[in-house]
A = this chain, B = another copy of it.
Amino acid sequence: MDQHTYVAILAGGVGSRFWPGSREARPKQFLDMLGTGKSLLRLTFERFLPLCPAENIFIVTNEAYHDLVLEHLPELTTENVICEPSRNNTAPCIAYTAFKLAALDPQANFVVAPADHIILKQDVFVETLQKALAFTAENDAIVTVGLQPTRPDTGYGYIHFGESVNGDVRKVQRFTEKPNLQTAIEMIDTGEYLWNGGIFVWRAEYVKQAFETFAPSIYNLFQAGEGLYNTPDEAEFIANEYPKSESISVDYAILERADAVYTIPADLGWSDLGTWASLYEESEKDLNANALIGGKVLLSESDHNLIRMPHGKIAVIRGIQNFMVIDEGDVLLIYPKDKEQEIKQVTAQVKSAFGDTYL
């Protein structure tokens, strides 16, 4: 473990496509999505422990979730929770983190990763990040982990990689956001494209430089707080200034503009668990292709269902196919699994029928 290695876990989203599992007051990353007894945030945190000590792991989240983070990660203290006073997408939250880490340790070399993805191949994950960290420690570079695509998904960003510059580290030629299906199929056929899963590695000082060059308004905003980071005055400065920042993703603000962008291709057994259907895909199934998560279920004449019950509750179900049954707190959802893209409309209907209570 290198003492200059840090991790920033981005945990500010809501994951509204996982309603009624996810709620505004308890987003997806705080849920035990896999029925393992651990939340996604907890699993993500533990995944990084082979790389650096717990105190080097920072959770970047909305102020509203500060206490929830410490509940899920009791090893951490409030210093490890970086709170955004507003939701302005990933560029400002990563810039803020870089300014804080650079002030803490000018040699800080860090990984940024989402809190709510799953990675089945822990060993490959650690090994890949070690390579990336070794590279960025020595180079002014951004390394993004390039995930081996498993299907022509039109919902992801794709990385076109070029020649190797250092072992597994390859130059990124181009990023392509959410292609159409035909393009996605063609890209995968070339064997030269990877998915961008939002896992980036870089030094804090270099991130600051990159913002200065490619997103100067964000750079200037946070540069004005120089000397305040990690002091009692930081909170007031951030509360006043952060919400003024441009709302833009780090992909658009930096990655697609910078030159020194590299990727390490890796098969991590990755899923962003974007929807209930992807949870179904990633879950173990019974003999009738039912995925049963949490709770205890007595099933008959039922197949290809996703059934998620709270701990200690049982379900007795007969005669349903291709449904999702999500029993979560004050909401029960029984819905065709292949209609899960309607969840956002459903929550709008729920809001209009019953108010905000159930969101």
Contacts and interface: CB of A to CB of B under 8 A. Distances in A.
Interface of A: 20, 296, 298, 309, 312-320, 323, 325, 327, 330-336, 339, 346, 349-350, 353-354, 358
Given A320-B320, A339-B318, A331 B353 contact: no
Contacts of A309: 332
17 contacts: A20-B316, A296-B353, A298-B353, A309-B332, A314-B350, A314-B354, A316-B331, A316-B332, A316-B334, A316-B335, A317-B333, A317-B335, A318-B335, A318-B339, A319-B339, A320-B320, A320-B334
Q: How many copies, total?
A: 2
A119 to B, nearest CB: 31
Nearest to A343: B316
Contacts of A336: 318-319
Contacts of A313: 330-332
Contacts of A323: 319
Contacts of A350: 298, 314, 316
Contacts of A339: 318-319
A334 B315 contact: yes
Contacts of A327: 327, 332
> Which 5 pairs, one residue from A and one from B, show the smallest C-beta to C-beta distance?
A315-B332, A317-B334, A313-B330, A316-B333, A319-B336
Nearest to A310: B330
A309 B334 CA distance: 13
Nearest to A333: B316
Nearest to A358: B314
